[in-house]
Amino acid sequence: MKRTRILQIIIFFVLASLSACQDDLPVVGPDEEASASLFMTKSVSELDENLLLIQAAMQHVDSITPFFDRFTRLYGTPLWQYALPMGEEERDISYLVPVYKEEIPNIIHTIWFFDIQGDTLRYRTITRENEQIRAYQQDFVFDELSYNIFGDESAGELKFEDPPQTRAWGKEYYDCHYGIIEWNDIEVSRGLYCKERTVWISETIDYTDSNPIIGGETGIGGGGGGDGSNNPPPGSITQANLIQKIPDIKKRMKELACGIDDVDIVLVEGVCTSNAKVEVDKETGRKKIILCYKFFNYEYQDQMSILYHEAYHCNHDEAWSSETKMTLDSPYYLKIPQEHVDYLLKYEFDGITNPMTFINGDESMIKNLLCPEYYKNEINAYSAEIRLNPLVSEKYVLERLYMLWRQETLYDYSLKHYKH
């Protein structure tokens, strides 16, 4: 108990100290606090030790491959206090964590599944549409979680009797409930529904992925397992060799007529969802380029192109007419051309169930608008970057073209609608 309490206190202060950072791009999803909320719950003391260890492990994964922001935009916020355990052993146990999206009220459409085996944690994001889960008739669990959270207000088809009617052990059946279907408050169907742990585990084994939004594997509680990340591309700039690489970076920027000898290059502190950004000290005017964790997933030639983009900002940005972020009365939806949709499907939403729902929704939706000068600076930086750094990966070629189109579109919209 003492160890558990100490662990709770440590993780509470770690989570509380997370500071959200401003992205290079306008906010189009949840606000800055949404990233931290991925691991927050109403009361840390409500969670058992394994859930606290899972939270700490996933926070480590995010520090290597940032995914908080996109996860919440795609699926919603995990409700840790409603997690359902499956298993009896401390190091042989699974958890079903409901993920709630306010835009779809009173029902759970996504479960974040975690399986602990010894010192290894496997995880998988599973939606109602998952074919394996439906084939083995495990989709009732989404209704069970909805009922646990919302009671009679649940929008799920099934209602459940509590407590469980029977319980089995190991990796087979676990927590059987009678599920009831009602019509006009009249019971029309009743059946026994049992969670099959092996079915859910098979999803983490068969589909373990290097994209933490979809699923993956990492160590837990200081033990073994994977590191939850891809290995950095060969020859790339890493967190470990960043300091040694800085002279070469500054030399290359000078060769491209974009010198940054008086600009510091540092690793981000806290949460950051872009690849890099420029920060200016308001008192001294001194600039620094901040590298976010996402930066280290790019190939070397892509990293140098990104650094040129930030160096261009340091040398050529126009002053903003206003730093006020304007909240739109109603969201503005971008009409994304097909060539950019193809890029998003191939590289950003690969493996996501119903990706067009997200592309036509959160990816296209603009809730906040910045001054025209912001977008103009981005257009100039992307245009120069593309012109002077042509030899990049296919993925980054497409990413830059998409971002350039996005900034051009928002620049035109800001000229017409921005008010401060």
- The reported pLDDT for the residue numbered 178 is 67
The pLDDT of residue 17: 40
Residue 231 placed within a domain: no
Query: Does 309 share its domain with 410?
Result: no
322 by DSSP, 3-state: which?
coil
Q: What is the DSSP letter of 318?
A: P
Q: Give me the amino acid identity at 79.
A: L
Q: Are residue 110 and residue 45 in the same domain, yes or no?
A: yes
* Residue-level pLDDT at 135: 86
3-state class (DSSP) for residue 362: coil
> How many angstroms separate the CA atoms of 399 and 297, rounded?
14
- One-letter amino acid for residue 299 of the chain: E
- Contacting residues for 338 by C-beta, under 8 A, at least 6 apart: none
Split into its structural domains, the chain has a count of 3
Q: Are residue 310 and residue 331 in the same domain, yes or no?
A: no
Q: Judge contact between 144 and 110, C-beta under 8 A.
A: no
310 and 368 assigned to the same domain: no
> How far from chain centre, in Å, is Cα 158?
30
Q: What is the pTM of this model?
A: 0.63
The answer to whether 210 and 232 are in contact (CB under 8 A) is: no
Residue at 107 is within a domain: yes
Residues 246 and 376 occupy one common structural domain: no
**In terms of domains, do 248 and 376 share one?**
no
Cα–Cα distance measured from residue 40 to residue 362, given in angstroms and rounded to the nearest whole number? 22
In a domain, residue 385? The reply is: yes
Q: List, in order, residues 6 or more apart from 237 with CB less than 8 Å away.
A: 245, 249, 295, 296, 300, 303
Q: Please answer whether residues 84 and 167 qualify as being in contact, where contact means their C-beta atoms are separated by less than 8 angstroms.
A: no
Inside any domain, residue 232: no
Tokens of residue 309, six digits: 């983009």
Asked whether residue 226 is assigned to any structural domain, the reply reads: no
What pLDDT, on the 0 to 100 scale, is given for residue 209?
57
Whether residue 135 sits in one domain with residue 33: yes
Q: pLDDT value at position 230?
A: 46
52 shares its domain with 152: yes
Choose one of 314, 347, 370: the last residue of a domain: 314
pLDDT score at 46? 60
d(CA 46, CA 58): 19
The CATH number linked to 250 is: 3.30.2010.10
pLDDT, position 44 = 45
Q: Which residues of the chain have pLDDT under 70?
A: 1-46, 162-175, 177-180, 182-190, 205-210, 222-233, 270-273, 420
| 267 within 8 A of 200, measured Cβ to Cβ | no
205 and 253 inside one domain: no
Residue 236 lies in a domain: no
pLDDT at 35: 44
Identify the domain containing residue 205 by its residue range.
2-219
- pLDDT at res. 374: 96
Structure-token pair, residue 12: 């509470």
Other CB atoms within a 10 A radius of the CB of residue 365 amount to 15
- Residues 345, 287, single domain; the answer is no
| Whether residues 189 and 301 fall in one domain | no
State how far the Cα of 414 lies from the Cα of 405, in Å rounded to an integer. Answer: 14
